[in-house]
Amino acid sequence: MRWPLAVVALLITGLLPEGVQGVNLSQDLQAIIDSAPPGQTLIIGGGYYTGPIVIYKPLALVGRGWPIIDGQGRGSVVTITADGASISGFVLKGSSFSPSLEPAAVKVEGAKGVSIVENRIVNSFVGVYLIDADYAEVRANQLDLAPHLPVLRRGHGVYAWETSGATLVENDIRHTADGFYLDHSPDNVIARNSVRSGRYGVHLMYSGDVELIENQLAQDMAGVVAMFSHRLLMVGNRITNNRGATGVGILLKDVDYMYAEANYIEENVFGFVGENSPQSAGASVLLRRNLFAGNDVGMALMPNAPVTLTENTFWDNGQHLQGIGPSIMMRLLGGHGGGADVGQGGGGGGHLPKGMQLSAMGRGNYWDDYRGYDLDGDGVGDIPYQVVNLMGTLVRERPLASAFIYTLAHDVLRMADRLFPAAQSRESLEDPAPLIRPVLSRSAGGQGRVSVSLLLVSLLMVGLPLLLAGHYSFRLLREGHVVGREGH
């Protein structure tokens, strides 16, 4: 074991500041906690310490040289029950994996103002579990909980229950169930975190007044899932490549007063999904200046989700907007029990919501396939944009047709939309003020996707009928030629 020279010198000379105590490997960590007076800082040198431990008085445990606390599979590794306690600089590992015990690397029970900063948390069921732990700080921790387990057997990265005023920032979270799971936990900030390789990046249940700021949520089954949670703010998040069983960037169910701006929502199956949001008369769900790019479907909405869109950029999506029915919501929500029955007969198809607003204050959205013009140069197209197209109608009525998104067949239908207005869907929706230029550009590395397999299918779809028609025509010509010879 190598201790930092400064700590070694302080221990040898006895010059630790008042209220600071050095701990070495010959000492039992829990015994030192038991004997330390409230308010003391314990500097723990690098090495291996056995847990579990309980911090039941306001102490600061500071690791130097990444000391390891191993819970040895016995409940939670560290339990904190004292207001104002803190732990930083440790490798925390080895909680129990028994869900009935709700074990965690760090469990905070009824303590206010606790700080959990710059720790490395591995091989544990839940990373940080906040229970009635108002004003907690969870910052700059690295969590890689259970890469060896399937998603459904993992715990959450940061789990908050009846906790308010928490600051959850700058954490790197991987291989969890949900990166952040807030249940009955209003008025919290989740900012500048990175979450990947789990179920949901952020999951909100009955947790209003939550701010999601500049997070990176990638390669999960869904980026943000918010249910029964109101007054949400989402700004500057990058939500990309969520293509698992759910495959959603942002999913709202029964949400009032959500405002989203400057979010980059790219390369998901569904960029945004809404059900019964807003749910109350006079409430709103407003999306402004966001980028929806490279998604199979930019936005998928139940008929009861009349959101408002303005100054968003829709770029290179298979479909920009799609109406969906309850069966699709049931699949997306999985274990939550599915979507509401809105009279669609249980089918996958649905209609875009009446009352949906595609512009505000004379500003609509940018659509990459808009072919209008701007004679007065004000940046707004002079003719409306028809949002619902033939491909969207076909997919709604025949969901299996979604296999041909991004293929030549899709391009042919887009061309038919433009050339044959009479063929347009009777349920087409208009953006009355489409923007001529995109508000946001695709992020670095974001490019249109080309699927070799789908390209081959498209070529087959186009080529096979031509081949058969050619073969049939040749056969008719040949038979006619033979008949002609026989006639002579």
SS (H, E, C) the chain: CCCCHHHHHHHHHCCCCCCEEEECCCCCHHHHHHHCCCCCEEEEECCEEECCEEECCCCEEEEECCCEEECCCCCCCEEECCCCCEEECCEEECCCCCHHHCCEEEEEECCCCCEEECCEEECCCEEEEEECCCCCEEECCEEECCCCCCHHHCCCCEEEECCCCCEEECCEEECCCCCEEEECCCCCEEECCEEECCCEEEEEECCCCCEEECCEEECCCEEEEEECCCCEEEECCEEECCCCCCCEEEEEECCCCEEEECCEEECCCEEEEEECCCCCCCCCEEEECCEEECCCEEEEECCCCCCEEECCEEECCCEEEEEECHHHHHHHHHHHCCCCCCCCCCCCECCCCCCCECCECCECCEECCCCCCCCCCCCECCCCEECCCHHHHHHHHCHHHHHHCCCHHHHHHHHHHHHCHHHCCCCCCEECCCECCCCCCCCCCCCCCCCHHHHHHHHHHHHHHHHHHHHHHHHHHHHHHHHHHHHC
Domain count, the chain: 2
Kindly state whether residue 119 falls inside one of the protein's structural domains: yes
- pLDDT for the residue 487: 52
- Output the pTM of the full model: 0.82
Phi, psi of 135 (to 5 degrees): 65, 30
Kindly state whether residue 234 falls inside one of the protein's structural domains: yes
- pLDDT for the residue 22: 60
Kindly state whether residue 475 falls inside one of the protein's structural domains: no
Task: Tell me the average pLDDT across 61-90.
Answer: 98
Is 70 exceeded by the pLDDT of residue 392? Answer: no
- pLDDT for the residue 325: 87
Phi, psi of 287 (to 5 degrees): -115, 120
Answer yes or no: do 415 and 266 share one domain: yes
pLDDT tens for residues 35-57?
999 999 999 999 999 999 999 99
- pLDDT for the residue 400: 60
Answer yes or no: do 165 and 275 share one domain: no
Residue where a domain stops, chosen among 142, 168, 198: 198
The answer to which of 198-212, 217-231, 349-363 has the lowest mean pLDDT is 349-363
Kindly state whether residue 480 falls inside one of the protein's structural domains: no
Answer yes or no: do 100 and 211 share one domain: no
- pLDDT for the residue 176: 97
Per the listing, tokens 């387990």 go with 149
Answer yes or no: do 58 and 140 share one domain: yes
Output 266 or 488, whichever has higher pLDDT. 266
User: Do 350 and 341 form a contact (C-beta atoms < 8 A)?
Assistant: no
Is 90 exceeded by the pLDDT of residue 300? Answer: yes
Task: Tell me the average pLDDT across 6-19.
Answer: 44
Q: How far apart are CA 146 and CA 158, in angstroms?
A: 14
- pLDDT for the residue 329: 82
Domain that holds residue 442: 204-468
Token representation of residue 319: 């479909």
Answer yes or no: do 157 and 296 share one domain: no
Is 70 exceeded by the pLDDT of residue 108? Answer: yes
Answer yes or no: do 220 and 112 share one domain: no
Q: How many CB atoms lie within 10 A of CB 134?
A: 20
Tally the residues of the chain: 488
- pLDDT for the residue 340: 41
> What's CA 99's distance to the chain center, in Å?
24
Kindly state whether residue 476 falls inside one of the protein's structural domains: no
Q: How far apart are CA 277 and CA 415, in angstroms?
A: 33
The model's confidence at residue 442, banded by pLDDT at 50, 70 and 90, is confident
Answer yes or no: do 282 and 418 share one domain: yes
pLDDT tens for residues 120-144?
999 999 999 999 999 999 999 999 9
Output 406 or 442, whichever has higher pLDDT. 442
Selection from 266, 138, 254, 279 nearest residue 204 by Cα: 254
Computed on alpha carbons and rounded to an integer, the radius of gyration of the chain in Å comes to: 29
- Compute the mean pLDDT over every residue in the chain, rounded to the nearest whole number: 84
Answer yes or no: do 298 and 388 share one domain: yes
Token representation of residue 269: 């199956």
Task: Tell me the average pLDDT across 333-345.
Answer: 46
Residue where a domain stops, chosen among 198, 213, 242: 198
Is 90 exceeded by the pLDDT of residue 303? Answer: yes
Side chain identity at residue 268, one-letter code: N
Q: Which residues pair with 63 in a beta bridge?
A: 44
Is 50 exceeded by the pLDDT of residue 419? Answer: yes
The fraction of the chain above a pLDDT of 70, given in percent, is 74
Kindly state whether residue 487 falls inside one of the protein's structural domains: no
Is 50 exceeded by the pLDDT of residue 213? Answer: yes
pLDDT tens for residues 181-208?
999 999 999 999 999 999 999 999 999 9
The fraction of the chain above a pLDDT of 90, given in percent, is 68
Kindly state whether residue 109 falls inside one of the protein's structural domains: yes
Answer yes or no: do 181 and 235 share one domain: no
Q: How far apart are CA 71 and CA 77, in angstroms?
A: 4
Q: What is the CATH number of the domain that holds 88?
A: 2.160.20.10
Answer yes or no: do 20 and 71 share one domain: yes
Kindly state whether residue 180 falls inside one of the protein's structural domains: yes
Q: How far apart are CA 226 and CA 182, in angstroms?
A: 10
Q: How far apart are the first and last CA of the chain?
A: 105
CB-based contacts of 479, cutoff 8 Å, min separation 6 = none
Answer yes or no: do 76 and 26 share one domain: yes
Is 50 exceeded by the pLDDT of residue 154? Answer: yes
- pLDDT for the residue 344: 33
Selection from 275, 217, 280, 279 nearest residue 249 by Cα: 217
Answer yes or no: do 146 and 289 share one domain: no
Residue where a domain stops, chosen among 144, 167, 198: 198
Sign of the alpha-carbon torsion through 189, 245, 337, 391 = positive
Token representation of residue 215: 């997070």
